[in-house]
Each structure stands twice: as structure tokens, then as C-alpha cells.
């Protein structure tokens, strides 16, 4: 399987292009509108057929490129059924599968950062959105977030994957590209195995984070798959 990681510096967002090298079918995870040209150039350079556009959740820190990619490639957008993105073509829930050629992608419902967060698991890799970051996790104080739910998503879903599973998050603010499940179980400062649920909830309830700078523009647009006036 071909994997290409992209980084958008303003929101520190990672996007991922995955392709089955035999069928040339591809998907992209969490594309950012301002990086549209990068994605299109990469798709053309590897002669890929973009089949799906996958969102890990409705983002509050950037506008998705989903609408523009759908317009240019005829790919279908995938979101969790709990989102308000009625513009999507495919609504998934926990345990759903879809394919790139013979490669199966498993949807894992991992709510907590928002009520509709989804991680995507391909054997050996998991794309965790904001649910599990490298040595951290996404905030839980808006978009129907819930610290208890996030803890359970990580412990009951992500931490049950093999320890050598590569973790590809939606963000990193220190230049790290990836991690793995085993490392996060031992070392994540919020979610390592020695941290109890009540401790985690206390941590998340006292982060005192500022209001996201792009949320008022991003959320309305992303509920329309990134379609803007």
C-alpha cells in the first residue's frame, strides 16, 4: 500500500493519501482546502483513481477540501453518521468496511473529541484523527465532546490494536510524523496505561484552552463538506 503524508502548517494538520498499488484506487483522509493543488498533483503523479474522501470528524480548525475534491475527481465523501454533514455520500458507523482494491479499511467509532470521531484502521496502520495524538489527544470541550467517552474510545478500541500498529494522527505541533500503539500505551502523557479514567477527566477538565481561531468559519463550511460562497 502506498501512503503519502501531507502537512498544512497553519492548522498543523496531517492529511493522508492511501492507494492500492495494484488497482490504483485511492482515498484521502482529512484533506485541507488550501492544500488542494498538492493533493491533485500527487494523485496525477501516481496515476491514482481517487475513490473516497474520509473525514475523521467535522473539523473546527480548517476547512476541508472534500467538496472541491469531489467536484474534480467524482470521489465519494465518507463521514460518521452522527455528523451534520448531510452533503456526504456515505455515512458510516463502528465496524463498517470499505475497500481499495483488495485492501480493507475498517471504520472504528472513537468519539470523545467530538461525538462523531472515526479512526480508520488498515492492517499495520491506524489513522486516529484527534482522538489519539502523539503524546496527547484532542480537546473535549466543544462539539459534544466528552472526556470519559474519549478515554473509553482509546482504551476499548485503539489500545486493543497490536502494539506495532503505526499511529498517524490528524495533528502534531512539534514536528513528529507518527507513533505506534505500544509507545502511546506506555508514554502518552494523558492516556498511558497507568493513568486512570478519573485522572484523565480531571486533566481534560482543566486544560483552559483558548477558543479555536477558525471555528466560526470552519464548522459551517465543513457541515457542507467544505463548500464556501
Give the residue numbers spanning the domain of 193. Answer: 2-222
CA separation for the pair 180, 125 (Å, rounded): 9
CA separation for the pair 223, 77 (Å, rounded): 12
Q: In the numeric block, which cell numbers belong to residue 173?
A: 505541533
pLDDT, tens digit, 9 for 90 and up, residues 53-72: 999 999 999 999 999 999 99
Q: What is the CATH number of the domain that holds 86?
A: 3.60.15.10
218 has a pLDDT exceeding 90: yes
CB neighbour list of residue 196: distance below 8 Å, 6 or more residues apart: none
In a domain, 228, yes or no: no
pLDDT, tens digit, 9 for 90 and up, residues 104-125: 999 999 999 999 999 999 999 9
In a domain, 25, yes or no: yes
In a domain, 227, yes or no: no
H or E element in which residue 79 lies: strand 76-80
* Mean pLDDT of the residues in the chain: 96
pLDDT at 229: 74
pLDDT, tens digit, 9 for 90 and up, residues 176-213: 999 999 999 999 999 999 999 999 999 999 998 888 88
In a domain, 39, yes or no: yes
Domain count along the chain: 1
Q: Computed over its alpha carbons, how large is the radius of gyration of the chain?
A: 16
Neighbour-count burial of 108, counting CB atoms closer than 10 A to its CB (0-12 exposed, 13-18 middle, 19+ buried): buried
Amino acid at each position: 500500500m502506498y501512503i503519502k503524508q501531507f502537512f498544512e502548517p497553519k492548522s498543523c494538520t496531517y492529511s493522508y493519501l492511501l492507494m492500492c498499488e495494484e488497482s490504483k484506487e485511492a482515498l484521502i483522509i482529512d484533506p485541507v482546502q488550501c492544500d488542494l493543488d498538492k493533493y491533485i498533483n500527487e494523485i496525477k503523479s501516481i496515476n491514482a483513481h481517487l475513490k473516497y474522501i474520509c473525514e475523521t470528524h467535522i473539523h473546527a480548525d480548517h476547512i476541508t477540501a472534500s467538496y472541491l475534491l469531489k467536484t474534480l475527481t467524482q470521489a465519494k465523501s465518507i463521514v460518521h453518521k452522527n455528523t451534520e454533514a448531510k452533503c456526504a455520500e456515505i455515512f458510516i458507523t463502528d465496524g463498517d468496511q470499505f475497500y481499495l482494491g483488495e485492501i480493507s479499511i475498517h471504520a472504528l467509532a472513537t468519539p470523545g473529541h467530538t461525538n462523531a470521531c472515526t479512526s480508520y484502521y488498515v492492517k499495520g496502520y491506524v489513522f486516529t484523527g484527534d482522538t489519539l495524538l502523539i503524546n496527547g489527544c484532542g480537546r473535549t470541550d466543544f462539539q459534544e465532546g466528552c472526556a470519559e467517552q474519549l478515554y473509553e474510545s482509546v482504551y476499548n478500541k485503539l489500545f486493543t490494536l497490536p502494539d506495532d500498529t503505526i499511529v498517524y494522527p490528524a495533528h502534531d505541533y512539534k514536528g513528529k510524523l507518527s507513533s505506534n500503539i505500544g509507545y502511546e500505551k506506555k508514554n502518552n502523557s494523558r492516556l498511558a496505561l497507568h493513568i486512570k479514567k478519573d485522572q484523565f477527566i480531571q486533566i481534560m477538565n482543566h486544560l483552559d484552552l483558548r477558543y479555536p481561531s477558525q471555528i466560526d468559519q470552519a464548522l459551517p463550511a465543513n457541515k457542507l463538506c467544505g463548500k464556501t460562497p
